[in-house]
Amino acid sequence: MRTSFGFGCLINFTRGNANLSFVPHHEAVIESQLEKLQVLIDSSTNVLILTGAGLSTESGIPDYRSESVGLYARSNHRPIQHQDFMKFKHVRQRYWARNFVGWPMFSNVQPNASHGILADWERQGKISSIITQNVDRLHHKAGSKAVVELHGCAHEVKCMKCNYEISRHDFQSTLIELNPLLSVQNIEIRPDADVELSQELINTFRIPHCQQCRDEVNGFFKPNIVFFGDNVPKSRVEFVFSQLQSSDCLLVLGSSLHVYSGYRFIVRASELGIPSAIVNIGPTRGDKFASVKLNAKCSEVLKKICI
């Protein structure tokens, strides 16, 4: 895909190997497990959905932990830490340079079959809310309304001094004006729109300060995302707990539940006596709590569930 930003900035995008899939190897759906999930869904009238990166890999967004195809398996790159972003200007410069290049591809990713099916379940009144650990806004693009973005959203940017918010698309326009000649060839997208860039390009990348508060030191912008090392806002967690308490089933889709921000909900469901089901390729931290576990691709399972 070739995209022109204007102002002389031309970037060629590629997914590297055209045959590379970010969905890890998986087995066919086991019919007996599918039947158990169907019975659980049939007996539930208010299902709470928790989704993770494994739901978006079918749209072309890689995850972090999947065997062989996840970011951790393919490189030694690790995501940015919250404290580093807040403390060091050169870290913010590196983050925004890489994100700037990856944003056109990341923001143009489209929902897959799983997102569409969940939106349809919502329209039919089967689910109470979708709690997503993803920051890609694909649930919204698919038409879902009752979505809680647990880790925030990459489509929003906020000043860390005055809390002024703008859309990521508008922020991209500002970055283009400041960096009109940036040219990069053949990039591969990573989770959260990150890409690999040379240090030379990073060193020359210009980032803006907030024009609302005009603080050139502390008025810097951060995506409205809970970075690694930061905490999900307490009010958001409490809201999810309240949604869980009024639900009669928790369905986890495409999450290893490795991080506590999502794991806590299947633990709470167990404490409340609410049955849980997990659909994920590979083991998860919450398998011991699940009434049903399907080691399969999300879309292959959801397509076979009747509402």
- How many residues in total does the chain contain? 307
- Rounded Cα distance between 126 and 27, Å, is 28
Q: Which tokens in the block code for residue 185?
A: 């060839």
Q: How many structural domains does the chain have? A: 1
Does 307 reside within a domain? no
Q: Which tokens in the block code for residue 129?
A: 């809310």
Does 139 reside within a domain? yes
The stretch 165-185 carries a mean pLDDT of 91
User: What's 245's domain CATH number?
Assistant: 3.40.50.1220
Per-residue confidence (pLDDT) for residue 76, from 0 to 100: 55
- Rounded Cα distance between 171 and 152, Å, is 17
Does 225 reside within a domain? yes
The pTM for the full model equals 0.88
Sign of CA dihedral 262, 302, 156, 238: negative
Binding residue positions for NAD(+): 52-72, 133-136, 254-256, 280-282, 298
Does 294 reside within a domain? yes
**pLDDT of 260 above 70:** yes
**pLDDT of 190 above 90:** no
Does 108 reside within a domain? yes
Does 92 reside within a domain? yes
**Is 139 marked active-site?**
no
Which residue range forms the structural domain that includes residue 91? Answer: 2-302
Binding residue positions for Zn(2+): 159, 162, 210, 213
Mean pLDDT score across all residues of the chain: 87
In 3D space, the residue among 60, 14, 25 whose CA is nearest the CA of residue 191 turns out to be 60
